[in-house]
Amino acid sequence: MKNVFLKATILTIVVFVIGFFVGVFFDNLRLEEIKGRITEIDNLWNDARLLQSYIQKFSNITPHCEFLLDENLKLGDRIYAEGLRIERYEDTNRFAPFFDLEKKRYALLDLQFWINSIDLKRLCNADYSTVIYFYSQYSETPEQGFQDQVLLDLKQKCGPQIIYITFPADMEISTIEVIKNIYKIEKIPSILINESILLSSPVSMGELEKYIKC
């Protein structure tokens, strides 16, 4: 009879060991995928930046504005989609939760993209809105969870009408620290709209729509 208990124990352990390896396999798969995708965006970003620099240096930017704005918004959408993917992968991963490095790379990309978007908006006199979301990477509150969802829905609703960028406010990225000082961001999460309006979270969809053209 002892045999039955032993068999049941062995079978259960085998199932859990397989479960562990399946978990590790999928976690690593996601991690590698994210690394590849960020590298890809990095290339796209470099391409877009070089194009803009080239046009600014050797030609008049005004005739190219429509094209540049279009490309910038496409890149913005791509960065947003990848950000969403990273968040979901990070929430799911149990055995390979080493997303800090990737998140920093992603945040730096976001920063560069934001600065470029400000430039382009000024040079081309564009009318899209920028929504910058400062959130906490390490202490997620339910309030932040709600705000994440509201902003994701806003982006889905407005599409290319807004550029939505997220910054982890507590990842010790010096540029983000400087931006926080400039805009006097003390409370996290906070939302910065069009580099001028600062809202402290939680902000409802209805309230956000008052400030954003969508």
Partner 1 sequence: MDIIIDVITLIFTFISVYFMFLFLLLFFSHKKRFYKKSSIKNVPSVSIIIPVYNEEKAIEKTIKNVKKLIYPKKIEIIVIDDGSTDNTYKIIKKIRGIRVLTKKHGGKAKALNFGLKQAKGEIVACVDADSYPEKNALMKTISLFEKNVASVTTCIFVKNAKSLIQRLQRIEYLFIAWSRKVLEYLNSIYVTPGPMSLYRKKVLLKVGGFDEKNLTEDIEIAWRLLKHNYKIKMSLDTKVYTSVPRTLKKWWHQRLRWNIGGMQTNLKYFNLFLKKDFGSVGMFLLPFFSVSYLLSILGLFLIFYFIFNWSYLFIGSYTFGFNLMGTFYILPDIFLFLGIFVFILSLFYIKAGYKTMKRYIHFPKKILDVLIYVLFYFAIFPINLIHSFLKFLTGKHKW
Footprint on this chain of partner 1 (rule: CB under 8 A):
1, 4-5, 7-9, 11-12, 15-16, 18-20, 22-23, 26-27, 30, 88-89, 92-95, 142, 145-147, 149-150, 152-153, 156, 202-206
Torsion of CA 50, 52, 58, 62, to 10 degrees: 170
Rounded to 5°, the CA angle 213-187-203 comes to 35
Q: How far is the CB of 4 from partner 1 (least distance, A)?
A: 5
Report the amino acid identity of residue 97.
P
Residue with tokens 């430039």: 119
Report the amino acid identity of residue 71.
E
Q: Which burial class, exposed, middle or buried, applies to 181 when counting CB atoms under 10 A from its CB (0-12, 13-18, 19+)?
A: exposed
Residue 127, both tokens? 């009318």
Q: How far is the CB of 210 from partner 1 (least distance, A)?
A: 13
Nearer residue to partner 1 within complex by CB, 145 or 159 = 145
Nearer residue to partner 1 within complex by CB, 62 or 149 = 149
| Alpha-carbon span 46 to 52, nearest angstrom | 10
Residue with tokens 């149990």: 94
112, HSE (Cβ side, Cα atoms, 13 Å)? 17
Q: How far is the CB of 12 from partner 1 (least distance, A)?
A: 4
Q: How far is the CB of 178 from partner 1 (least distance, A)?
A: 30
Q: How far is the CB of 211 from partner 1 (least distance, A)?
A: 15
Backbone conformation region of residue 59, classed left if phi is above 0, alpha if psi is from -120 to 50, else beta: beta
Nearer residue to partner 1 within complex by CB, 16 or 67 = 16
Nearer residue to partner 1 within complex by CB, 18 or 214 = 18
Nearer residue to partner 1 within complex by CB, 18 or 101 = 18
